Amino acid sequence: MPTVEDFLSGQTLLIDKPLHWTSFQVVNKLRWEIRQAFNIKKIKVGHAGTLDPLASGLLVICTGKMTKQIDTFQGQIKEYTGTFVLGSTTPSYDLETEIERTYSTEHITEVLIKETTKQFIGEIQQFPPVFSALKKDGKRLYEYARAGEAVEIPSRTVHISEFKITNIADNTISFRVVCSKGTYIRSLAHDFGKALKSGAHLSALRRTKIGEFDVSNAITPEQFITQLASE
């Protein structure tokens, strides 16, 4: 485990974010534990790319002077795995909100599913979910959404270099996606359902890579705290 000098001069920590934690909670927890372990009043800690509470996986945490590298890490290619459920949609495009509409899936075949992925390879236009932390006029989009206020969200250009279907079990589709910064996998699920002339929502998501960083080398917040205490 690094020393206090190491943390202050700058460390890059690979954390496997648990389900239901916010990225902000992980940063706050690690900052507090480092301060307590070394009896210091202040240390910079930040993350390189938010993960939703309903997603797990790789969170790159920077401390001290390494926080200057956050923008660089955020801009790197990311890899995700997860599952879509076909035949229904939710306002948030995932399981944060209840199912609002259901659709027929009788016309959907394995061949159609795999062919449809080709529409999402390369540069695509994507609308961020209304239930997201993006800001418009100084207010988070999810604040508008929870208040039932309609808001116009401009589309953005994102790049998807790989979109593979790894398993099909009834209406649950497992996938792997490699994509650029700014890609919303929830929006991909929603748009994928529309392209199939049905609905879809994201039911599970795990970030496995950011650039050269791999979740297989990451530790949980609890493991980090244990290692810190053992020094």
Catalytic positions, written as ranges? 52
Left if phi > 0, otherwise alpha if psi is -120 to 50, otherwise beta: which for 2?
Answer: beta
Question: How many other C-beta atoms are found inside a 10 Å radius of the C-beta of residue 79?
Answer: 20
Kindly give the pairing relationship between strand 200-210 and strand 55-63: parallel
Return the CA Rg of the chain.
Answer: 19
Main-chain dihedrals φ then ψ at residue 43, nearest 5 degrees: -155, 140
**Among the listed residues 25, 73, 64, 66, the one whose alpha carbon sits nearest the alpha carbon of residue 213:** 73
